[in-house]
Structure 1
Amino acid sequence: MGFMDPGNVVWFEISTADGQAVKDFYGPLLGWSFAVDPDSSVGGVTYTRIMAPGMPFPMGAIYDNAHSPEETMNVSIVSADVAADQERLEKTGATVVVPATAVSDVTTFARLADPRGNVFSLFQNNQTPERLKEFADQAGEQMQEMTAGPVPGAYAWFEIGSTDAEATKDFYTRAFGWQIVFDETAGGKPYSNVFTGNQWPSGGMYDLGTDGVDYLMPDFLVLDVPATTARAQELGATVEFGPDANPDGLVYSRLLDPRGNRFGLFSMPTNAPQVSA
C-alpha cells in the first residue's frame, strides 16, 4: 500500500481564529516552521503549511480564519472521492461538519465527525496525474527520511480515545478498512494498534472505559517527553495524562494546548533506533 492510498492518515490541520497564537505555542515547543500557501489563502482565510525541523515538505497546516467559531485539531485521511465518501460515511453514522469543498483546482476536502463526536477530514488531491506522481514521490521521500531517522517535532502517530471501544472499532473498520489489534507490548493497558493498510501500525486506540472524553488526535515525536511536557505547560498547555511509560520504554503524554486542542507527545521505545537530534 502506498503512502497516499485511500484510508491512510497523512496530514493534520489546526483550524483557528488566531494563527499567530498557534505558531507562538508550537514553534518554540516542537521547532516547527511555517510557510503561507498562496494558492489556498483567499477570502480572509490564510492556509499555512507546517514543517517539522529539517524537513522539506509540510506535514500539516493551520487554517487561520479570524471569523471562525471553532478551534480544532484534526487528522486528515486520504480519499479517492471525497463527495462519495462523505455520503457513504453519513450512512455509517458520521456527521458532516464541512461538506465536500474544492480548494481551487488543487484539492477537495470535507470535515466530518465520527459517531463519538471526533472530528476528522477527508482529503482528495485533484491535480493532474503527473503532478500527483510528483506529490506522491515527494511524500515518499519524506517518509523515507523519517524512516531512516525519525525527526523530533514531526507528526508520527495518531490516537483514538474511546469510551465505547467496540463502537469505535466497528465504525473505522467499516469506514476505512482499518484493522484494530490489541497491543501485547503495552503492559496490559487497554491499548490497540491501528493498521491503515500498511505492514506496521500508524496509530492506536485507547479503550477509556467509562472514564474519560472521546478524542482523535495527532501525536508528535520528541526526544524527552517529560521535559517537553513541562515546557508545554510553561507555554500555557494543560497536561491531561502522563507522562507515562510502557514496559518497552516508550514514553508518552496527552495534553491540551492553550487553544484547547488535544495532542500527544511520545518518544521511541528504548530498543528502537535512536532519534537524530
Structure 2
Amino acid sequence: MTTPPYNTVTWFQVGSDKPEQIKKFYGELFGWSFRPYGSDDEGYDVIHYPGSEAPSGGIAHTPDSAANHATFFVMVEDVAATVAAAEALGGKVLNPPETAPDGLVSADLLDASGNHFGVFSPAPSA
C-alpha cells in the first residue's frame, strides 16, 4: 500500500444519527462495506471501497440530525502551519490542532466561504 501525497483529500467522514440507514444507502449505491472502528460503543465505522486494502472514510454516529455532516480531510505535513495559513487566508478554526493517543494530529476548519473541512498529519509509522 502506498502513502497518498500530502495536500490531497485522503479521508472523508459522513455523520449520521441513523448510521445503519446511511450504511445501507451508501453500501447499495456504491458497494461500500463497513466495519466498526475500535469498540462497538465508540460509534464509528470505517468505510472500504470495493477492492481497497485500507479504509478511505468513516461513518460517525451522531446524537441527532443537527450534528449530521459530510466532511473531507486533507493530509498535510504540518497541521499547525496549515491552520495558521488558513487563518491568514480568511479561514476560521473550529477545533485547533489536537494530537490523538496514536500520534495523529488533526484540526477542523472553515474555509473563506464557511465550508467545514479538516486537515491531519498521520500518526508516525511504528
**Shorter-normalised TM-score: what interval?**
0.7 to 0.9
What residue is the counterpart of 1:261 in the other structure?
A: 115
The SS at the match of 1:226 is: helix
Aligned-pair CA distance for 1:194? 0.6
Distance 1:153 1:177, change over 3 A: same
What residue is the counterpart of 1:92 in the other structure?
A: none
> 1:190-269 to 2 correspondence within 5 Å?
190-197=43-50, 198-210=52-64, 212-269=66-123
Q: Structure 1 residue 177 and structure 2 residue 31: aligned?
A: yes
> In 2, distance between residues paired with 1:161 and 1:271?
28
Deviation string, structure 1 residues 132-188 (Cα, Å, up to 9, x no partner): xxxxxxxxxxxx8xx2x5322112122212233222222112222211212129xx7
Amino acid at match of 1:269: A
Amino acid at match of 2:81: A
Distance 1:172 1:183, change over 3 A: same
Distance 1:202 1:177, change over 3 A: same
Q: Structure 1 residue 270 and structure 2 residue 124: aligned?
A: yes
> In 2, distance between residues paired with 1:192 and 1:269?
19
Q: Which ranges of 4 or more aligned residues in structure 1 deviate by more than 3 Å?
A: none
Q: CA RMSD in A?
A: 2.5
Deviation string, structure 1 residues 208-237 (Cα, Å, up to 9, x no partner): 222853222321111122331232122211
> 1:108-187 to 2 correspondence within 5 Å?
147=2, 149-184=3-38
Larger radius of gyration: 1
> In 2, distance between residues paired with 1:217 and 1:226?
19
Please, what TM-score do these two structures have when normalized by structure 2? 0.79
> In 2, distance between residues paired with 1:169 and 1:270?
30
The SS at the match of 1:239 is: strand
Between the two proteins, what is the percent identity of the paired residues? 35
> In 2, distance between residues paired with 1:168 and 1:247?
29
Aligned-pair CA distance for 1:251? 1.6
Higher relative contact order (CA 8 A, sep 6+): 2
Higher deviation after alignment, 238-247 or 158-167: 238-247
Aligned length: 124
> In 2, distance between residues paired with 1:220 and 1:159?
12
Distance 1:154 1:235, change over 3 A: same
CA contact (8 A) 1:164 1:209 kept: no
